[in-house]
Amino acid sequence: MRSWLPLVALALALAGCAKTGAPRAEPIGKPQIPAELLEHRAKAPPLAPHPTRLVRLPGGAVVEELRP
């Protein structure tokens, strides 16, 4: 059976090897903080829960409102 692979390769070569931007396997994060900076610190108290309510805007969007 005739293979299309050589034609595809030729088309890519004629296209000038344009960059493609391959899909990423993972999200892109920030640089990790070195472990030695973190290992001796005390544990911070957990965050207290904060009451919120949902407010629907005239256009349909929803705001999650934090109440002071």
The footprint of other proteins (CB under 8 A) covers 15-22, 24-34, 37-38, 41-47, 49-50, 52-58, 61-68
Distance CA 62, CA 40 (A): 42
Residue 2 C-beta: closest distance to other proteins, Å: 28
Pairing state between β 52-56 and 62-66: antiparallel
Residue 59 C-beta: closest distance to other proteins, Å: 9
Residue 10 C-beta: closest distance to other proteins, Å: 16
Contacts of 41 (CB under 8 A, 6+ apart): none
